[in-house]
Structure 1
Amino acid sequence: GKLLTRAIKVQILSALRQKQRLRADQVELLPLVSSSLKNALNLQVGRTQLAPHPFLGAWAHIDSACLISFVHDSMTELRISIDDALFFDEEPGTSMFFVLAGSLLYKPGCSARESTFHHTDRRLRCERGEFCTEVALWFDWHHL
């Protein structure tokens, strides 16, 4: 009841304070643009978002056609608000996240090794222009 109402109110107020980013589906005239120009725009956006990652950033400069396909087929935009969770206890991790606006703060569970870190430790924060990933992309892993 009251806790849920408060959480919704906090999230709405936070969203109203944040600078809103324009999404492609909000641009009315974008469907009138040719496919080649849309692909060029997608490439530019993809390069900007992937640049922080050593492998993906290099790939963006080597094979732009392949990168456009990769971005189109495997990347989705996820909008989150304060106190939304990306990782859940006991669930296998499957994703990599590129921070386009704002920042992410990792709040480790009490069994996680990172629970010994001070809450201001830089390793627990991911800022705009940085990326983070789940160890589960490389190991059989569940969050603690």
Structure 2
Amino acid sequence: MSNVSVGPNTEISLHFALMLEDGSEVDSTFNRQPATFVFGDGNLLPNVEAKLIGLTAGAAEVFDLPPEDAFGQRNPANIQRIPRSQFAADMELQEGLVISFADASRAELPGVISAIEDEVIEVDFNHPLAGRTLQFKVEILAVAPVAAE
């Protein structure tokens, strides 16, 4: 086992589980291939990555992530009311349906239909986990140095 610890210029291989407050699992790698990434490459939320600093191979931790450290608070401005006429006439709309929209820069932006009225469809563009306190369980499998760019 290496004594290299998680930090800048390291590659980390780990298993993780992301869970809701009630313990239900949102995502996990414990029953499949571990995740491998370079520290700071954007694969993990920055506040989650910061909690891993200093851990070494063999470490196992569980972190509580308040919304501010995870996907942020829900923002009422991210709920849009869109005229029904902007949806295809043959599109079957139902609450909870996830639809892909294009933002101003043409990037894909998922939205969830949250209400259906006669003339207007309400679409929630908040991340589905926004406003939720999460639990992040991690087991560090390997930490290796990578060359600084």
TM-score normalised according to structure 2 size: 0.26
Larger helix percent: 1
Max radius of gyration: which structure?
Answer: 2
Which structure dedicates a bigger proportion of its chain to strand? Answer: 2
TM-score (norm 1): 0.26
Higher relative contact order (CA 8 A, sep 6+): 2
